[in-house]
Structure 1
Amino acid sequence: MGVALFTLGGTISMAGRTGGGGEVVTRLNGADLAAAVPGLTGLGMPLDIHDIEAVPSANLTFANILALVDSASRAVRAGACGVVVTQGTDTLEETAFLVDLVWPHTEPFVLTGAMRNPTLAGADGPANLLAAARTAASPAGRGLGALVVFNDEIHAARWVRKTHSTSTATFASPNTGPIGHVVEGRPRILTAPVRRRTPYPRPEALDEARVALHTVTLDEDAELVAAVAEASHGLVVAGFGVGHVPSELAGLLGTLAERMPVVLTSRTGSGSVLRHTYGAVGSEADLQRRGLINGGLLDPYKARILLRLLLAGGADRAAVTAAFADHG
């Protein structure tokens, strides 16, 4: 029994340079990555490597990730005690949450990557991969669902965010902090997240569950919002502060909420949408009266993932509202 390693590409695996601009493009495979990690041989168990077609994380889809979950599930059923996935960091917070919503096993599913590619001094990929493998191999990681391990910190998929474009400490959980740390090579879990799974959708149903995300900005254009929502089956609104929008937008959002789920979140990156503090037109209380669903503590990106999974699974408005009350 060992750890199953799945490699998707990303900065952690980009080593060679081509072209006059010296862009990093060449991909390292899983064996290359493992060979570059001092201490990985001391894991005490084998590493079962699965190289998946490398794509920039910006190109990953729900279907890609659900197929990865299927492959990882097969590895667990074959005896793997945990799973590690390396991928690009651009969408890692979203893929981690998607995995967490559908991962059915107690074995940990750990995602990691790098901010500095292997051609740079101080490349962080080897340390992140080692910490991730140790977390996946540890009994302490069981029952925690999908985790993001970066910079010797262990984050729950439910809370983690990418907070900086280049820093090696980019991943943080603003509402909670990390749930654990890797200390002297040993994963130490300080608090366990509550698991909240959602039904696994049919892959073909995802095409019938288009969910748009609109971030509200100063001097908002209602016609633009209407255009964004036109071809959608659901809408996530990233509102100001505690869940506010310009008053001119409130009526449109209420009309949209009559024909599809519209989820209200905050664009701030941490904190919760309120429920009954402000009552002006465009406030959180007003929007809820108009039929918008309160996203609670879920950030807009994670709210979109949850809403799309729910719609792909055939959830009606009552089920969507109940799910966001639970998850948010």
Structure 2
Amino acid sequence: MSETVFATSGTTGPAVEWLRTEEQLRDEVRLVGETLLGRVDHVVSYAPTEHLYGRLYAEVLPRLAAIPVEHRWRDPYAPLRLPTGARTLIVCLPSTWQLLARSTAELARHGQVIALHSTGPATPAARRVVARLRDTACTAVELLGSTETGAVAHRRIAADHEHPLPWRLLRDVRWPDAPVGTEHRLRVSSPRLARRRDMTASPDAWELSDLVVRTGERSFEHVGRASRLIKVNGRRCDLADVEELVRGRAPGLDVACVAVADPFRGEHYELYYASTGAGPAPADLRTRLAGLPRGLPAPRAVHRVRAIPRSATGKVRLGDVAGARSAVRSGCARPDHDPNCP
């Protein structure tokens, strides 16, 4: 049986390879198609096909349906022109919505559009686009899942000022009987779970890093992550591993990475550091961090502070780190395309 390899992003170690059968890929496309998408005549994809999400909806779906696909991830800034009369699926990353926000007139004119979102939280730009297209036939839905599990749940993207809807499990996904109203890590079983390279078969169940509160028999609210794993425009980034890399490139610094919401990428992180001596300037440290291993994104901003807030046991008080930067007003460096430092 042929299998396709998908790799999760490695940080200090090698990437982990997960294998999926052709049947699993086809089953996921058909399931999501029947549940959310309906008829699709044309695909416009901003998701690269080397990752599971892009492979499913920009390669497997067009092949099964014998329909054309535009790989817009190769040139995402090209003007959006949708084929008249064709029900079009737009495969979105978190960063795609800033581009779609400039094309709402084209989306509204076309009308027959369904936007599919995954690989990270829906951004404010996504909710603004949904609000602007409220009175059209355009729809927007998002998937929650991982390379290991495939898609496990779905919901409609809420517009600006709307309360987010609960997530609903896809019909072939099962989960333990966790009590309603309790917070726990999302653990699921499904015939679409991938097989890790060193496994002889797919696992019976898999626990994601997502923290959820069960709201019904097959629904839940997402409340955060149990680990320090974030996804920057769909690319996994373990903040604990980034901190170790920083310490290796700049010995003697006390560092802490803090996850932040990002209007363009969904999630990102900022780096805070303190030094007992002179230490590097924020801009110099940012230069040292260019080209982190395995394509890890550099921090959105670098802040120098007098001290990293820690508990009596030495653990970083993440909730207090951002407030520490007010002690050093000039200690900040950001890339040119981000807003100015406070």
Same fold at TM > 0.5 = no
TM-score w.r.t. structure 1 length?
A: 0.34
Which protein has the bigger helix share?
Answer: 1
Which protein has the bigger strand share?
Answer: 2
